[in-house]
């Protein structure tokens, strides 16, 4: 086994005031745009969560009332459950699919670029358009239910079943997202030194051992990145559900963002909608921190 040179800790020189000023000047445009278009609205959203803001009405400070309402709202808990189940199922599956496809297409073989492009295609396909097609795929008598029937399973519409609707949406989500993760992991895989695998091969490591002890540790930062991105996307799932199920049947696919959308843009209860947004934000941060502690920790 080839020993890698130990990483030496380099002393970092503190920049001078002039250097810092120059650097600040370069990042200033981004900082300004970020403050105006991201941080500002996000902060305003948090503040609105403590008000009873509705369109055209007088806005009053209501303290934690919206959050108390959230706790007492059975629809919130049901939407939270749907969001958590969807995230727990879709993120690992999406990552597995991304990893599998990245490993399959990492080697240079005839048509590799074509495969990579084809696998990436769903990422740039409109989810609304894809949703319309998948309604047909999962419909009663559609290809999916026929395939299930051929396998001896109940040939039914998965979108009409309270239990199967989430797995159906997860499949669509994985289909639409794995190409993105694949691309990130593929880029990282190209950077893994070939000598490492060759050395492991010389030492008699099996294919699984080479993957488990050589490739996978090298992929850890990329996997962490993909996990965070996929989780963020999954907890915000909305458009696909809106098109395919309308949150049904019987709210079995009614996610947190769907609830937020309804409260904000259908019922115009923007204070409450903002409180839901805050809850979603906190949830995303907590999950990202957990991922940071597990996948993202430094060796």
Q: What is the C-alpha separation between 257 and 249, in angstroms, rounded?
A: 17
CB of 169 to another protein, least distance (A): 12
CB of 246 to another protein, least distance (A): 4
Encode 107-146: b = buried (16+ Cβ within 10 Å), e = exposed.
eeeeeeeeebeebbebbeeebeebbeebbebbbeebebbe
Tell how far CA 91 is from the center of its chain: 7
Tokens of 69: 């309402």
- Closer CB to another protein, residue 234 or residue 244? 244
CB of 251 to another protein, least distance (A): 5
**By the criterion CB under 8 A, which residues form the site for another protein?**
18, 21-22, 25, 28, 54-57, 74-75, 132, 135-136, 139-140, 157, 159-160, 162, 242, 244-251, 254, 262, 264-268, 270
- Closer CB to another protein, residue 33 or residue 96? 33
- Closer CB to another protein, residue 48 or residue 196? 48
Locus of tokens 């295609």: 121
Tokens of 144: 């999916």
Q: What is the C-alpha separation between 178 and 127, in angstroms, rounded?
A: 14
Question: Do residues 254 and 247 touch, judged by C-beta distance below 8 A?
Answer: yes
- Closer CB to another protein, residue 170 or residue 214? 170
- Closer CB to another protein, residue 101 or residue 172? 172
Tokens of 97: 């699919």
Q: What is the C-alpha separation between 295 and 299, in angstroms, rounded?
A: 10
Handedness of CA 269, 160, 84, 220 (dihedral sign): negative
CB of 290 to another protein, least distance (A): 32
CB of 205 to another protein, least distance (A): 50
Q: What is the C-alpha separation between 177 and 255, in angstroms, rounded?
A: 18
- Closer CB to another protein, residue 179 or residue 247? 247
Cα angle 211-220-5, degrees, rounded to a multiple of 5: 80
CB of 47 to another protein, least distance (A): 14
- Closer CB to another protein, residue 90 or residue 274? 274
CB of 233 to another protein, least distance (A): 21
């Amino acid at each position: 086994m080839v020993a890698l040179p130990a990483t030496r800790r380099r002393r970092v020189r503190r920049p001078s005031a002039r250097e810092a000023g120059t650097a600040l000047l370069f990042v200033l445009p981004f900082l300004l745009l970020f403050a105006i278009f991201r941080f500002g609205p996000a902060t305003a959203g948090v503040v609105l969560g403590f008000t009873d803001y509705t369109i055209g009405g007088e806005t009053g400070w209501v303290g934690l009332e919206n959050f108390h309402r959230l706790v007492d709202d059975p629809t919130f808990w049901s939407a939270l459950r749907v969001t958590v189940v969807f995230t727990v199922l879709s993120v690992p599956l999406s990552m597995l699919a991304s990893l599998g496809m990245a490993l399959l297409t990492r080697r240079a073989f005839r048509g590799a670029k074509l495969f990579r492009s084809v696998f990436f295609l769903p990422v740039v396909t409109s989810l609304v358009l894809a949703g319309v097609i998948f309604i047909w795929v999962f419909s009663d008598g559609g290809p999916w239910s026929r395939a299930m029937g051929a396998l001896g399973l109940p040939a039914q519409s998965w979108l009409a079943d309270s239990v199967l609707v989430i797995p159906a949406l997860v499949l669509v989500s994985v289909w639409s997202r794995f190409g993105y993760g694949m691309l990130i992991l593929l880029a990282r895989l190209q950077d893994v030194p070939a000598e490492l695998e060759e050395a492991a091969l010389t030492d008699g490591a099996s294919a699984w051992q080479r993957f488990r002890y050589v490739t996978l540790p090298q992929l850890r930062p990329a996997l962490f990145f993909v996990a965070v991105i996929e989780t963020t996307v999954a907890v915000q799932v909305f458009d696909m559900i809106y098109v395919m199920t309308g949150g049904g049947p019987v709210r079995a696919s009614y996610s947190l963002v769907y609830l937020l959308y309804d409260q904000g843009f259908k019922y115009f209860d923007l204070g409450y909608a903002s409180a839901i947004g805050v809850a979603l934000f906190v949830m995303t941060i907590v999950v990202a921190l957990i991922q940071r502690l597990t996948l993202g920790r430094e060796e």
